Amino acid sequence: MIWIALLLVVNVLVVFFFLYMRRSVLCPVDADMHGKVVVITGGNSGIGLEAAKELARRRAHVIIACRSKERAEDAVLEVIRETKWSNVRSVKLDLSSFKSVRECANNLLQSEDRIDVLINNAAGLPYGGNVLLTEDKIEYQYQTNFYGHFLLTSLLLPALLKSDSPRLVNVSSCLYKLGRIDLENYDQSKYRELGMQVYSNTKLAIVMITRELAERFGHRGLGAFSCTPGTCNTNIARNVPWYIRYTVGQVSRIFSRSANDGAQTIVYLAVDPSLSNGALNGKYFIDCEVEPLLASALDEATSAKLFAFSEKLTGADYSII
C-alpha cells in the first residue's frame, strides 16, 4: 500500500509541476502606445517577436533590432500581417560585434528624435565545446547577452532620456540564481565545460546592472527593470549540438509555456504607466509581479565593480550622459 501511496503522491506532484510550468499570464495593462518609439533586440523570433506583436497591437512604433536582415524583414512582415499595424521596421544589430552595436546606435540616433522604450531581449546559448571568442576577443555568449547590450544602452540612453517616461527592460532568466560574477575571467574560459554556467553568469550580470542603472539614472526619470519570461518553448537552443537541441525541444514541448506567455511580463514593463513613479525601479519581475532577488544579485560592491569593468571593456562611457 505504501508504494501505491508514494506513486500517487509522485503523480500529483508531476501534474502540479506541469501546470505550474505551463501557467499562462496576461499583461494586465492595455495602454495605448501610439507615438511611442520602442526598440527591441532579438525581436525577430520567439519571445521577442511575440513582444513586438503585442506592442504593435498597442500602436507603438516598433523597431526590431536583429543580426540577420532577412529574418528581420520576415519578422516585420509577420508583425504587420498579424496586427494590421504598419509602423514597424527593422535595423541591423549584431551584439557580438561592438562595431555593429555602434553602427546600430548611430542609425537609430539619426532616424529617431527620441526612444521611449529599449527592450534588451536578445540572447544566445552556448555552442558547446571550446570557448568561442568574438572579433572583440570576448566570449561569444557573454558579449551577445550582456556586454553588447551594456554598450547599446549607453549609446541610446541620451535618446531614452528625452522621453517623458523613459523605460529600459532587460530580459534576464531565473537561471541568474546560479550565476557568478568573475571579473578576472571575463573570457569565461574557466566555465567552458560547465554548459549553462556562462549563460547563468550573463543573466546575473543583467540583473545587477539593471539595478545599477536604476540607481544612477532613476533621478532623471529612467525606469529600469529586469525580468524572467519563464521557461518558454522557443528556438533559443538552435545553435547548440543537435542532441542537446533535441532533448531541450522535447522537454520544452511538454513543460514550457508559449513564447506569447513569456512575452507578457516584458510588455507589462514596457507599457504600464504606473511604473513611472519610481517605487519599483530596479526590481526583478516574473509574471508581471515583483520577485525578491537573491543576495548574490544585491551585492552593491560587486555591482559597481561590474559596471566599471564593463565600461572599460566595451568603451561605454555613462559619465558623459
Q: What is the 3-state secondary structure (H, E, C) of 120-170?
A: ECCCCCCCCCCCCECCCCCEHHHHHHHHHHHHHHHHHHHHHCCCCCCEEEE
Q: Are 119 and 39 in contact (CB under 8 A)?
A: yes
User: What would the pLDDT profile of 133-183 be if each residue is shown by its tens digit?
Assistant: 999 999 999 999 999 999 999 999 999 999 999 999 999 999 999 999 998
What one-character DSSP code corresponds to residue 257?
Answer: B
Give residue for cell 536578445.
122
Cβ neighbours of residue 40 closer than 8 Å, sequence gap 6 or more = 48, 51, 52, 55, 62, 63, 64, 65, 119, 121
Burial of 320 (0-12, 13-18, 19+ CB in 10 A): exposed
* CATH class in words for 30-320: alpha beta
> Which pLDDT score, from 0 to 100, does residue 132 have?
85
Spatial distance between the Cα atoms of 3 and 261, rounded to a whole number of angstroms: 37
Mean of the per-residue pLDDT values of the chain: 88
Per DSSP, helices labelled H in 161-299 are 197-217, 242-255, 259-271
CA 29 remoteness from chain centre: 20
> Which pLDDT score, from 0 to 100, does residue 249 have?
47
Q: Which residues of the chain fall short of a pLDDT of 50?
A: 5-22, 232-234, 237, 242-243, 245-247, 249-250
Residues designated as active site? 199
Separation of first and last alpha carbons in the chain: 69
**Alpha-carbon dihedral 246, 250, 253, 256, rounded to 10 degrees:** -90
Burial of 122 (0-12, 13-18, 19+ CB in 10 A): buried
- The side-by-side arrangement of strands in the sheet containing 289-290 is 88-92, 61-66, 37-41, 117-120, 167-171, 223-228, 284-286, 289-290
Dihedral sign for Cα atoms in the order 190, 240, 284, 149: positive
User: What would the pLDDT profile of 116-130 be if each residue is shown by its tens digit?
Assistant: 999 999 998 766 666
Half-sphere exposure of 29 (CA within 13 A, CB side): 19
3-state secondary structure of 224: strand
Spatial distance between the Cα atoms of 76 and 71, rounded to a whole number of angstroms: 9
3-state secondary structure of 101: helix
Grid cell listed for 123: 540572447
